[in-house]
Structure 1
Amino acid sequence: MAKYKCKICGYIFDEDNIEEGLNIPEGTKFEDLPSSFKCPKCGMPKSMFMKMD
């Protein structure tokens, strides 16, 4: 599983450890999130996230 970082605020979406309260089922891959997904910290769209190596 991978981690994705918001380019604006640095929030990290971790596929292995999805934050409670996001209403996203555990094990959901970032690419499977709807295009309407927004950063829970700053509100930027999914397109503003980059995959971390």
Structure 2
Amino acid sequence: MGTYICLVCGYEYQPPLGDPESDIPPNTDFQTLPGDWACPECGAEKSNFVAEAG
């Protein structure tokens, strides 16, 4: 479970934190997020995220 970064605004989705605003619980892997999940900062689609290198 790695961090994914929004290419539009730079938001980092971190699985240990989840996304409380979207009712995504902690420890939810990015790959298992719903297809309609969007960046909580800018609203970009899930397809606009890339895995953090490293």
TM norm structure 1: 0.88
Compute the displacement of 1:15 (Å).
0.8
Among all aligned residue pairs of Structure 1 and Structure 2, give the percentage whose two residues are the same amino acid: 36
Provide the alpha-carbon RMSD of the alignment.
Answer: 1.1
Amino acid at match of 1:18: G
Which structure 1 segments of 5+ residues have no match?
Answer: none
Unmatched runs of 5 consecutive residues or more in structure 2: none
Question: Which structure has more helix as a fraction of its residues?
Answer: 2
Higher strand share: 1
2:20 and 2:35 map into 1 onto residues whose CA distance is 20
Runs in 1 of length 4+ with deviation above 6 angstroms? Answer: none
The correspondence of residues 5-44 of structure 1 with structure 2, limited to 5 A, is: 5-44=5-44
Q: What is the number of residues matched between the two proteins?
A: 53
Q: What is the letter of the counterpart of residue 45 of structure 2?
A: P
